[in-house]
Structure 1
Amino acid sequence: MANWYVRAARLDQLRQAGRLPVSLDGQAILLIAQGERVYALDNRCPHMGFPLHRGTVHDGILTCHWHHARFDIATGGTFDPWAGDVRTYPVEIRGDEVWVDLTPPADALERQRTRLREGLERNISLVIAKAAIAMLDGAGDPVLPARVGLEFGTRYRREGWGQGLTILACMVNLLPHLAPEDRAQALYHGLSAVANDTRNSSPRFPLRPLPGGPHDVDTLKRWFRRFIEVRDAEGAERCVVSAVHAGAERRQLADMLFAAITDHRYVNTGHPLDFTNKALEAL
């Protein structure tokens, strides 16, 4: 992508002011002169949009005075993960003029995907909501944020599939029936449920399949039901993993899981049936 440099200010004017808010092609930019260097940042705090030129700069750190989020002026990196990094812009000095490159970032979608993971990790609802909205606006595909939530929940919920992932799967099922302006809210509710359900939980380490496979799927199904009967979670999990490794078809896996569930259809007020159904829908 070609660079898109725009004249921003006179260098002597900036050096005299120290900081200078400017509007370039509709974008609010903050210019900062520190020593021999000139920096350009988005003038809106990524947390809640407060104008950063009303903050303070000390020793290369810009502090927003609304919620005291702090940023490295050279990279835009934040010291407060709840705020998020502020966008920076390449700068060129041409004679006595400051020019700023307004080229849109090529990795905008990946940045939001990373931001969503950070929101899930720290269970910060505002971060989750903003990332979900940005991903929907940027890609238009609700599957992308939903997949991030599913991958996060299955990895970081020690007990496996649970209420949060089930709510997320329900919200994804609802999306085609919702007005476009309501889809981000549905995704937010599902993703925040995953964050709540995994809060303070250690990562989950999956088991390997049985060695020497592939194994007979009918035998694995029989063993699986036996392990469920005696509440041996690891033995049951290894049967499922081995069946997947053996190339079991979707119908075979569903039959394997639901056979064990219907052996005890009333256990845990029927939640295993609902959870398994939503897990397979998510897949």
Structure 2
Amino acid sequence: MDAAYQHRKSGNCMNSTQAREAARVPPPNHGMHTVNPCPALAAIVRSFTIVETISERTSTLLPETGVLLGIRYSGSAALLRSSSPQEDLPDWSITGIRDSSRRICTSAGGGLIVVNLHETGASRLFAAPVLELYNVTASLRDWLPNPSFEGLQANLSHAHDNRSRIARIEDFLAAQKNTRPPDTMVEAAIRAMRAGRGNIAIARLAQHIGVSQDRFEKRFRREVGTSPKQYCSLLRLRFALNLYQPGRTLTDIAHAAGYYDQSHFIREFRAVTGEPPLKFLRRSQYW
């Protein structure tokens, strides 16, 4: 990493050697590692995930509860489909909240930084309505003003390790933040939904907040990019996956995660992944 960039005094994000070391960015070719964002971006970015592959690898990507930015600095990747030819993915991509998983094949020598945004993070970075990204993966170029995109490309071309790449991405995101304040009603609803692991009645939540259900759902979709019901379904599924361990029954997992019964859990799981839980969990590389 170039020392001049590492020691700059920007006043925004990781502007000291100590701060960068605290991120504990690993050396290359180490698989998958997560890095926390700098404090200035903590309300927008949940984490950075560095994904590096030595050999070709196929993984299943489960739906996230926020928008993802993918910035590829080496190799290539393709979306695999059972009923149509594979689709090459853009090196710089943005992916909205989805209702189903994706299978991605990454080439040998691949390197990618995934920016995992908080639920309302995209609406605080981009001018276009985040709901337009639902079930969509697009080129990041289409979502950024051309000078901004070209500036980030040029800046990253001078980065030679993951510490430097993340520092430059953080500076870019900090500069993209819009001045519109976050919707505190939606933020409060998200906290309640996460606390309940998705097991919460939407009508009752809207009543508690003090707005009609219709108004609440419109504001939620505008800020998050999906409906409150779909968001809660993703939270519940993610929690159920975290409960899985060999020997634990599906009935136990289903009840602990808040599903009505095992059949309800299997039905929702299959709708997202295309497979029953045990078959998926025993053979899939997923994240």
TM-score past 0.5 threshold: no
Which structure's CA Rg is the greater one?
A: 1
* Greater helix proportion: 1
Which one has more relative contact order, counting CA pairs under 8 Å at least 6 apart? 2
